[in-house]
Each structure stands twice: as structure tokens, then as C-alpha cells.
Amino acid sequence: MGRVQGVGFRYYTKKKAIEFTISGFVQNKPDGSVYIEATGEAIDIETFADWCKQGPSWARVNDFLRNDLPLKEWNRFEIN
């Protein structure tokens, strides 16, 4: 979670998710944070999570919280 709205964070998150064969979604929250649910192979999730902690070079991620949720199956990665 971080204040990343207005810098294309969701677009680049989707691009990275596709690159790492991740499915799920990303969405902006009213408080300015970004929420992501993602599923994929463990190594791909780790690499994706590491990228999300930084985001694109012009984004500033202030905090990153990660929770394990019950497994969901998505067909692709979407921007909500």
C-alpha cells in the first residue's frame, strides 16, 4: 500500500503481472492506496511482490502489506 495514484501504477502492475504469469487484479482505493490480489507460482509471486514494493521508478511506495488469502482462480490480470 502506498500513495501511488496518478503515476500509472496500475497499468505497470498489470504489465509486470503478465510478464510474471500472474493472474488477479489491481485497484485504487479511496484512501489513495492500491489493493492487489494475485495468484501464480510461488517464485513468480515473490518476484512480483518484490516489484510491487518499488513500483515503476517514478512511483513512491510508502508501505507494503502482504496477506495470504484463500486461493482464487483468475483467467488473467485485470485493472479494476
Chain centroid to CA 48: 7
Alpha-carbon span 22 to 37, nearest angstrom: 10
DSSP state for residue 58 in the 8-state scheme: T
Catalytic pick among 10, 66, 67, 80: 10
Query: Is 10 known to be catalytic?
Result: yes
Catalytic pick among 3, 28, 66, 80: 28
Query: Is 28 known to be catalytic?
Result: yes
Q: Taken in order 32, 55, 75, 24, is the CA torsion positive or negative? A: negative
Q: Would you please indicate which residues are annotated as catalytic (active-site) residues?
A: 10, 28
